[in-house]
Amino acid sequence: MKSDISLTQLTDQLDLLEAEAASDINDAKDSDSLEKIRVNLLGKKGRLSIVLGAMSSLSAEERPLVGQRANVLKKHLQNLLSQRIEYLKDKSMTERLDRETLDVTAMPTGTPFGKRHPLITTTEDIVDLFCGLGYSVAEGPEIETDEYNFTALNIPEDHPARDMQDTFYLGGQRLLRTHTSPVQIRYLKDNPPPVRIVAPGRVYRRDAVDATHSPVFHQVEVLAIDEGLDFSHLRGTVLAFLTAFFGDLPVRFRASYFPFTEPSAEVDVQWRGRWLEVMGCGMVDPAVLEGLGLDPDRWSGFAAGLGVERFCMVRHGIDDIRRFYTSDLRFLEQF
């Protein structure tokens, strides 16, 4: 039976395909165009498959000759494609290195301005407001003793209030402080009243990390000890501070419990249509004063504490506390 296409014609087509393919591969400028060339040449509907499909019209003796030639061509094209992709990768890397080369011997052209972390600026603003009310700043160690962190604050070893603060213990009666209240105890031991101090600092608790909790966070606590202080002085101080920080927002006091103050209260502000807890406060428990050698019949005082992260989140509309600790410059540059 006479063939529709001859062996010579198919061989010529393969020779032409080889020449054109080599030229196309050599002209490819990037990996995307090279992939299109590969599919056009070697894909299921590619040019090589079309040529091989025409082998059915050859005689049984001629088909192996074309098949052998096609296999050699296929391997050759695959090698050309591989070589070109490696060339393009090397070329791209070389261009990138040339483009991103840093001359460490060159004179500086300028230093970008740094920005303060929002937690730092919020802490500073809070401290400045209390300093404006006549308070002085006091600080203490982050690694504390059980005595200062708990016992001196009317929280003995078997007191259930210890369950309120899941603590990182370090051994040897040492721990990571769970609040900045130990600063107040340390200050009162060295400074007789009257005193008015504000104590900012980092604190630690075994909290699971989520949008509103972190095992590391920041507090600011205030303490005032003097003759004749009562709850009205506490309430006036808290209202003056919250008005200065948040503006003229509704504020409410709710009865609460803290082992080192009595009476105690939680303070809420009405923010965006809902009540938001922002502070805890209360009159210093007479037992704490007695433990420091102070006469509770003469001296009285109040204390208040707040979480800096909560104030910062409210001020800037931040919905996740974890954003403060990711070191994401895109987030930090907003401030």
Q: How many domains does the chain have?
A: 2
Q: Are residues 41 and 162 in the same domain?
A: no
CB 219 within 8 A of CB 312: no
Mean pLDDT, residues 193-221 taken together: 91
pLDDT band, very low/low/confident/very high, at 237 (cuts 50, 70, 90): very high
**Greater model confidence, 198 or 259:** 198
285 and 138 together in one domain: yes
Residue 199's domain comprises 118-332
Do residues 249 and 325 share a domain? yes
- Residues 95, 129 within the same domain: no
pTM: 0.64
Asked whether the predicted pLDDT for residue 281 surpasses 50, the reply is yes
Residue 113 lies in a domain: no
Convert the pLDDT of each residue in 111-130 to its tens digit.
767 778 899 999 999 999 99
Distance between CA atoms of residues 265 and 305, nearest Å: 11
Same domain (yes/no): 29, 155: no
Q: What's the confidence (pLDDT) of residue 300?
A: 96
Note whether 209 and 68 are same-domain residues: no
CATH no. for residue 254?
Answer: 3.30.930.10
Is 104 contained in some domain? no
The verdict on 206 and 235 lying in the same domain is yes
Are 258 and 130 in a shared domain?
yes
Q: Is residue 107 part of a domain?
A: no
Residues 62 and 123 in one domain: no
- Centroid of chain to Cα 58: 69
d(Cα 112, Cα 126) in Å, to the nearest integer? 28
The share of the chain scoring above pLDDT 70, in percent, equals 97
Backbone CA torsion sign across 258, 263, 269, 273: positive
* Mean pLDDT over each residue of the chain, to the nearest integer: 87
The model's pLDDT over 72-81, given as tens digits with 9 standing for 90+, comes to 888 888 898 8
Pairing between β-strand 299-307 and β-strand 216-227 as defined by DSSP bridges: antiparallel
Q: Domain ends where: 45, 65, 99? A: 99
With a pLDDT cut of 90, the percent of the chain lying above it is 43
**Range scoring the smallest mean pLDDT among 24-33, 158-167, 201-210, 268-277:** 158-167
Amino acid 1: pLDDT? 36
Q: Counting beta carbons within 10 angstroms of the beta carbon of residue 80, is it exposed (0 to 12), middle (13 to 18) or buried (19 or more)?
A: buried
Q: Which H or E run contains 26? A: helix 7-27
**Cα 199 vs. chain centroid, distance in angstroms?**
26
Same domain, 170 and 314: yes
Residue 108 belongs to some domain of the structure: no
2 pLDDT higher than 80: no
Same domain, 62 and 147: no
**pLDDT digit string (tens) for 54-102?**
777 777 778 788 778 888 888 888 898 889 889 888 888 888 888 877 7
Please, which pLDDT band fits residue 4 given cuts at 50, 70 and 90? low
